[in-house]
């Protein structure tokens, strides 16, 4: 399990992979300075959910007073932890301002940005201060040291002291700007509130705000594509691979390319596709620009198992599960209502198309990448999909960072697309899986053809 300190840990820290530990290094350094015993666990809400649940469920019994969770994708890890413990959970969100999805009722989580991991440690110390005078005194000393450092900065800048009541708000603002950790008194008997200036995105207004923000980002990165084809990721060209078992070194190169924001062409069970890290907004924007694709045409998310699905989507009903059992893995894209705003950059509305492919190469990449990929057919909009790596190269040249050439694909119908975000379900596109095959599984839940044409 985790790397346990002695004496028994007071704070639990959980990250999704070893590289994520860097994002909370500031917090770990503070805990070491304060001699706070920490238990560090590496587990993924998407790929090892049972391990996350087991670790979180036993945290309180092992003596912990609070947990810090640093995840790769939005708040999934923090939510998984909070669902299995009554301890306070502090989420360190990667990047700047957190994109917070709607948390389940009764599963509260406090958020800090990835740049403010030290704030997570300070909040944890403030929680410990409620348990004993030693920690309360340590917290007071730390707060006083921050104030003294700000006063020192003000004095060195020649700022005159001013103790009038009118300037107290200004002085507080200076302390917050200059200190590395923003401390606000909290009452643990009351609900936690977001810091001033931040905003929790409500589901009902998330779509409009997220769509506007993502649209601006796409326009920005489309310009960057013209200046630097392929972005800043490594460019490896066309590489021959075994369709059944890809070489380990080639796999690692492809994964690194995706992590760097590159576009990788991959074979699927139908045609070749263009894949990017689905959590990388800039990479997705580059994909839209490269395809010449309208923002009104969403990009599908590939997953490597159904375990991640519940954290991504709503409408996962019994009849939908029957559909997935019948046709996954395979060429069926299912459009769900999106659970939160994390993947709003993939579509123009509150839906998300998800597919579990039946091909070893994209599955292997996702397992190593430890996150979903966004994938669309490898062709400029309006052109036939590429069925060979050579055709992908002719279409896009060096603008695709890497082409995994597994030989020619037999021309197959595209994946079928069914929208289950509302009833009756709609067959958006009839492809490799026929209407009759789908009706045999879900029956009258599928809208009649005349209803679909009129919608």
**Residue of 277 and 205 predicted with greater confidence:** 277
| pLDDT reading at 226 higher than 50 | no
Lowest average pLDDT, out of 167-171, 210-214, 419-423, 444-448, goes to 210-214
Under 8 Å between Cβ of 64 and 10: yes
Average pLDDT over every residue of 193-197: 30
DSSP string, 398-428: GGSSEEEE--PPPP-PPPEEEE-SSSSBEEE
In what side-by-side order are the strands of the sheet with 332-337?
Answer: 237-240, 402-405, 264-267, 272-277, 373-377, 300-302, 351-355, 332-337, 416-419, 426-429
Euclidean distance between CA atoms 400 and 392, whole angstroms: 8
Does the domain at residues 205-454 carry the CATH identifier 3.90.870.10? Answer: yes
Under 8 Å between Cβ of 115 and 25: no
- The domain locations on the chain are 1-200, 205-454
Same fold, 1-200 and 205-454: no
Kindly report the backbone phi and psi dihedral angles of residue 372, in degrees, each rounded to the nearest multiple of 5, phi listed first.
-70, 160
Residue 350 neighbours by CB under 8 Å, 6+ apart: 203, 206, 207, 337, 338, 344, 421
pLDDT bracket for residue 338 (50, 70, 90)? very high
State the pLDDT at residue 97.
41
DSSP string, 127-178: HHHTT-HHHHHHHHHHHHHHHHHHHHHHHHTTPPP---GGGHHHHHHHHHHH
Average pLDDT over every residue of 145-165: 56
What sections of 163-270 are H helices per DSSP? Answer: 168-178, 203-227, 248-259
Under 8 Å between Cβ of 349 and 363: no
Which fold does the domain 1-200 belong to in CATH? Rossmann fold (3.40.50)
State the pLDDT at residue 48.
79
| pLDDT reading at 115 higher than 60 | no
Euclidean distance between CA atoms 45 and 401, whole angstroms: 30
pLDDT bracket for residue 196 (50, 70, 90)? very low
Which helix (DSSP H) or strand (DSSP E) does residue 10 occupy?
none
Kindly report the backbone phi and psi dihedral angles of residue 265, in degrees, each rounded to the nearest multiple of 5, phi listed first.
-85, 130
State the pLDDT at residue 19.
61
The string of pLDDT tens digits covering residues 48-97 is 788 888 999 999 999 999 999 987 654 678 888 988 899 999 988 764 44
**Residue of 156 and 428 predicted with greater confidence:** 428
Can you tell me whether residue 108 is helix, strand or coil? coil
What mean pLDDT value characterizes the chain? Answer: 78
């Amino acid at each position: 399990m985790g790397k346990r300190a002695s004496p028994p840990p007071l704070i639990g820290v959980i990250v999704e992979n070893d590289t994520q530990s860097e994002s909370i290094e500031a917090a770990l350094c503070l805990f070491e300075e304060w001699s706070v015993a920490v238990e560090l666990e590496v587990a993924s809400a998407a790929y090892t959910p049972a391990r996350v649940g087991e670790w979180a469920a036993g945290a309180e019994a092992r003596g912990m007073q609070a947990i810090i969770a640093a995840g790769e994708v939005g708040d999934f890890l923090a939510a998984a932890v909070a669902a299995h413990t009554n301890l306070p959970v502090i989420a360190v969100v990667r990047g700047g301002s957190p994109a917070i999805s709607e948390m389940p009722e009764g599963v509260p989580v406090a958020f800090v940005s990835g740049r403010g991991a030290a704030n997570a440690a300070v909040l944890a110390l403030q929680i410990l201060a409620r348990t004993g005078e030693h920690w309360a005194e340590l917290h007071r000393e730390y707060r006083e040291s921050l104030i003294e450092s700000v006063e020192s900065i003000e004095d060195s800048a020649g700022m005159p002291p001013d103790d009038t009541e009118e300037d107290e708000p200004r002085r507080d603002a200076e302390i917050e700007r200059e200190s590395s950790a923003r401390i606000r008194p909290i009452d643990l008997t009351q609900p936690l509130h977001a810091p001033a200036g931040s905003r929790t995105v409500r589901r009902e207004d998330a779509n409009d705000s997220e769509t506007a923000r993502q649209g601006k980002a796409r326009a920005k990165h489309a310009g960057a594509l013209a200046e630097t084809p392929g972005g800043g990721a490594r460019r490896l060209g066309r590489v021959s691979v075994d369709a059944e078992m890809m070489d380990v070194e080639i796999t690692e190169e492809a994964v690194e390319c995706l992590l760097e924001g590159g576009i990788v062409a991959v074979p699927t069970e139908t045609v070749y596709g263009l894949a990017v890290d689905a959590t990388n907004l800039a990479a997705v924007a580059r994909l839209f620009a490269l395809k010449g694709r309208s923002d009104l045409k969403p990009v599908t998310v590939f997953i490597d198992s159904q375990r991640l699905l519940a954290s991504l989507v709503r409408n996962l009903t019994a009849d939908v599960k029957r559909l997935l059992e019948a046709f996954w893995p395979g060429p069926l894209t299912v459009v769900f209502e999106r659970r939160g705003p994390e993947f709003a950059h993939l579509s123009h509305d509150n839906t998300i198309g998800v597919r579990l492919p039946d091909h070893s190469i994209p599955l292997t990449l996702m397992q190593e990448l430890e996150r979903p990929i966004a994938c669309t057919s490898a062709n400029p909009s309006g052109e036939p999909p590429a069925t060979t790596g050579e055709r992908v190269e002719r279409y896009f040249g060096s603008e695709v960072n890497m082409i995994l050439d597994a030989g020619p694909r037999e021309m197959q119908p595209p994946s079928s697309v069914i929208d289950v975000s509302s009833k009756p379900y709609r067959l958006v596109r009839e492809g490799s899986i026929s209407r009759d095959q789908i009706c045999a599984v879900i029956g009258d839940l599928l809208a009649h053809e005349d209803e679909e044409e009129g919608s």
